[in-house]
Amino acid sequence: MKRKTLSLISASIMALAGPGLAGEAVKVGMITTLSGGGAGLGIDVRDGFMLALEQAGDSGIEVVIEDDQRKPELAVQLADRMIQSDKVDVLTGIIWSNLAMAVVPAATAQGKFYLSPNAGPSALAGKGCNENYFNVAWQNDNLHEAAGAYANSAGFKNSFILAPNYPAGKDALAGYKRFFEGDLAGELYTKLGQTDYAAEIAQIRASGADSVFFFLPGGMGISFLKQYSGSGIDLPVVGPAFSFDQGILQAVGEAALGVKNTSQWNKDIDNPTNAAFVETFQAKYGRLPSLYASQGFDTANLLISAVKAADVHDADAFRAALKAADFNSTRGDFAFGPNNHPIQDIYVREVIKEGDVFTNKIIATSLKQHSDAYAAECKM
Amino acid sequence: MSLILLAEQVLNGLQFGVMLFLMAAGLTLIFGVMGLINLAHGSLYMIGAFAAAGVAAATGSFLLALAASLAAAAIVGGVIELVVIRRLYQRDHLDQVLATFALILVLSEATRWAFGSFPLYLNIPPALSGSVRLPGGIEYSLYRLSLIGIGLLIALALFWLISKTRIGMRIRAGENDREMIAALGVDISKLYTVIFALGAALAGLSGALVGAIQSVQVGMGEPVLILAFVVIVIGGIGSIKGALIGAVLVGLTDTLGRVLLPPFFATFMEKSAATTVGSSLSSMLIYILMAAVLIFRPSGLYGRA
């Protein structure tokens, strides 16, 4: 239904635009999570993406949006349908690494372009890289590596680290350990989706650690932070931005105040694109953008820049246009490395309260012009 | 591992178990009395948490929030019993699973439509924050201690309700022979609605109590629902006593497994491998427990053969 309405709207826009438009529209298939527990992320990516298209005016891009319900098998079906019956040229939108692993290799093998607005599994950055796969967000390890680098500069010597027991959780701890030079007071894998951390917090208390690093995205992070702050332990906590994004900070409340987290984006990065993005996003949707929204916005602007520069049916020219990354990013400088993953600065943010709203402020740059650990393995 | 840490973990396991009991009690009553598999029980847990978060944000009172969670879950439970569930008693289990699964989707999307896609804020009341020193020098969270107390109180109240009151007598009679008590002139459909609403209210209350230290979001009920099913299978379907024992067993097994298994494997394995193996095995532990119980007692600890 939604899909029909959207294509109807875009069709009528196309019709109104009249003969001034050269060639046919570029069709984009967006598969993202719009229902269930993880819907906040997909909605932010979609809203950021659509905001950029709207601001670009008539960009000759037609978008088909579908909800993957966070299910890999459904994402695969949607991708097949978009490629075969909607005849999309470009796919985008997937939030979760396991869904990306199910969809991306098959799509790029069929010669379609895939622009990732969020997931960056290591398998697609190293040996499994593809010339038609562009990651506009980060490689999964990046923010954790930055957290490790920050822990060194903060003088932490003995960290307790924990993450859920699944591939992205293992990447997270590996990323932190790659940069952290101190010792580990403890290393724990929790159950994916676990919401009670009393047992883990008791172990942290008993471990003699001087700091805690955790990667617990979404609801897991909310639960952990609330329980941690209620436990009376006052060790400093550091983590990637995923547990501190704009969508969930309000649910954590006071418990998150002062916590340091790492991110490639924040609303106070000082450049005109970002300032305009934050202002227009808030005006249109009535909430502050999250990093996911910024990633959706950047993905759309990258696409628009490539569509302006080259014809999508000339794959080599279009690929070169994407690779040039000739667009104004909300992050300021943005370039692709040899494996089509970003080379970018990663910041340390602190959770603060502005009026009634909990949000983040940049306090330092953790890693400058950072690439990823897998680029050397990529041959294309 | 020190004795104090171990004692604290036992308390954590007990608290987890007692909250599971609130979920499992309703589930086991509904299954035992009406023969209905209710997958939507987790949605009632979610509705309780959302109602509490909404009322707490509007009034600032945790007690009102708890009352709202009871009321909202009971009302929603009563309405879905009247509109949907009632048509399922005579159908086979597959139809019941399909229909109540549909209810999960409907209730989740309705909640998302009403409250938005982002998690809500619900915190513990200031009076219960902080920790207390227990005999033996254990520092323990006052809120979690209160959860154990509330859970045990509710368990006592349920036992009293089932064994000493008229409605409890009818529930027990309904479990034994539905046709007979209908023949004796008891309004069986009213009884079913009451039981369903009671189970729903307990699920809603546990959602609100647990939501205060976890995350109030769409889909929060389904993981708990699976555990609650494990609990009632272990305890024996239809038995409140079984649900209590099963819940505490599952809570303790899960918590102590998570804490003790990784160091146990570390005594003869390399450390990071031990962490991985230990945490993988600990997440399977309650299912292993369930399988073990079923081998020796196929109808659960307190189920009727």
CB A293 within 8 A of CB A350: no
Q: Is A158 on the interface with B (CB under 8 A)?
A: no
| SS3 (DSSP) at A379 | coil
Strands ordered across the beta sheet of A133-135: A61-67, A26-32, A90-92, A113-116, A133-135
Domain count, chain A: 2
pLDDT value of residue A15: 43
Both A249 and A357 in one domain: the answer is: yes
Residue A341 in any domain: the answer is no
Distance between alpha carbon A121 and the CA centroid of its chain, in Å? Answer: 11
Both A13 and A110 in one domain: the answer is: yes
Say which residue, A17 or A164, is predicted with more confidence: A164
Both A308 and A352 in one domain: the answer is: no
Here the tokens at position A170 are 């293992």
CB A91 within 8 A of CB A112: yes
Write the pLDDT tens digit of every residue in B122-133: 989 989 988 888
Taking an 8 Å cut-off on Cβ atoms, the answer to whether A188 and B218 are in contact is no
pLDDT value of residue B305: 58
**What is the DSSP track for chain B?**
--HHHHHHHHHHHHHHHHHHHHHHHHHHHHHHHH----TTHHHHHHHHHHHHHHHHHHH--HHHHHHHHHHHHHHHHHHHHHHTGGGGTTS-HHHHHHHHHHHHHHHHHHHHHHH-SSPBP----GGG-SEEEETTTEEEEHHHHHHHHHHHHHHHHHHHHHHHSHHHHHHHHHHH-HHHHHHTT--HHHHHHHHHHHHHHHHHHHHHHHHTTS-B-TTTHHHHHHHHHHHHHHH-TT-HHHHHHHHHHHHHHHHHHHHHHHHHHHTTS-HHHHHHHHHHHHHHHHHHHHHHHHHH-TT-SS---
**B171 pLDDT above the threshold of 70:** yes
Range A77-99 average pLDDT: 94
Taking an 8 Å cut-off on Cβ atoms, the answer to whether B215 and A218 are in contact is yes
Question: Of B112, B275, B282, which is closest to A39 when you measure between CB atoms?
Answer: B112
CA distance A338 to A358: 37
**What is the DSSP track for B106-143?**
HHHHHHHHHH-SSPBP----GGG-SEEEETTTEEEEHH
CA distance A292 to A313: 29
Residue A370 in any domain: the answer is yes
Say which residue, A13 or B77, is predicted with more confidence: B77
Distances in Å between the alpha carbon of A339 and those of A132, A335, B120, B136? 10, 11, 39, 58
CA distance B194 to A4: 44
What b-and-e string marks burial along B236-265, b requiring 16 or more CB atoms within 10 Å of the CB? bbbbbbbbbbbbbbbbbbbbbbbbbbbebb
| Confidence tier at B1 by pLDDT (50, 70, 90) | low
CB B44 within 8 A of CB B176: no
Write the pLDDT tens digit of every residue in B177-225: 878 888 888 888 888 999 999 999 999 999 999 999 998 988 899 989 9
Directed axis angle between helix B240-266 and helix B221-235, to 10°? 110
CB B162 within 8 A of CB B239: no
Residue A55 in any domain: the answer is yes
CB < 8 Å to A37, chain B: 217-220
**A19 pLDDT above the threshold of 80:** no
Q: Is A183 on the interface with B (CB under 8 A)?
A: no
Here the tokens at position A179 are 């940069």
Range A150-159 average pLDDT: 96
pLDDT value of residue A22: 46
pLDDT value of residue A68: 92
CA distance A108 to A129: 10
pLDDT value of residue A329: 95
A182: domain range? 142-263+346-377
pLDDT value of residue B234: 95
Interface with B, mutate which of A203, A216, A228 (most B CBs under 10 A): A203
| Distance to chain A for B151, nearest Cα, Å | 17
Write the pLDDT tens digit of every residue in A221-248: 889 999 998 888 889 999 999 989 888 8
Q: Is A167 on the interface with B (CB under 8 A)?
A: no
Taking an 8 Å cut-off on Cβ atoms, the answer to whether B214 and A219 are in contact is yes
pLDDT value of residue A21: 42
Long-range (24+ apart) CB contacts under 8 A made by B278-285 are: B279/A165, B279/A188, B279/A189, B279/A190, B279/A191, B280/A165, B280/A189, B281/B257, B282/A191, B282/B254, B282/B257, B282/B258, B283/A165, B283/A191, B285/B253, B285/B254, B285/B257, B285/B261
* Closest C-alpha among A195, A255, A197 to residue A225: A255
Both A149 and A186 in one domain: the answer is: yes
Question: Of A190, A193, A222, which is closest to B119 when you measure between CB atoms?
Answer: A222
Write the pLDDT tens digit of every residue in B60-88: 999 999 999 999 999 999 999 999 999 99
Q: Is B16 on the interface with A (CB under 8 A)?
A: yes
Reported ipTM: 0.84
pLDDT value of residue B177: 81
β-pairing, A90-92 vs A26-32, is: parallel
Residue A176 in any domain: the answer is yes
Extents of the domains making up chain B: 3-219
* Closest C-alpha among A162, A187, A197 to residue B275: A187
Cβ neighbours of A154 (radius 10 Å): 14
Q: What is the CATH number of the domain that holds A25?
A: 3.40.50.2300
Range A152-160 average pLDDT: 96
Both A31 and A167 in one domain: the answer is: no
Taking an 8 Å cut-off on Cβ atoms, the answer to whether B124 and A252 are in contact is no
Here the tokens at position A296 are 């959706």
pLDDT value of residue A1: 46
pLDDT value of residue A16: 44
Quote the mean pLDDT of chain B.
91
Write the pLDDT tens digit of every residue in A40-64: 899 999 999 999 999 998 778 999 9
Taking an 8 Å cut-off on Cβ atoms, the answer to whether B121 and A219 are in contact is no
Q: Find, in chain B, the residue whose alpha carbon is nearest to that of A170.
A: B276
CA distance A239 to B78: 43
Range B151-159 average pLDDT: 94
Taking an 8 Å cut-off on Cβ atoms, the answer to whether B120 and A37 are in contact is no
Taking an 8 Å cut-off on Cβ atoms, the answer to whether B121 and A190 are in contact is no
Q: Is B141 on the interface with A (CB under 8 A)?
A: yes
pLDDT value of residue A25: 86
Quote the mean pLDDT of chain A.
90
Distances in Å between the alpha carbon of A362 and those of A122, A344, A346, A359, B224? 27, 15, 10, 10, 38
User: Which residues lie closer than 8 Å to B25 by C-beta, 6 or more apart?
Assistant: B154, B155, B158, B199, B202, B240, B243, B244
pLDDT value of residue A209: 95
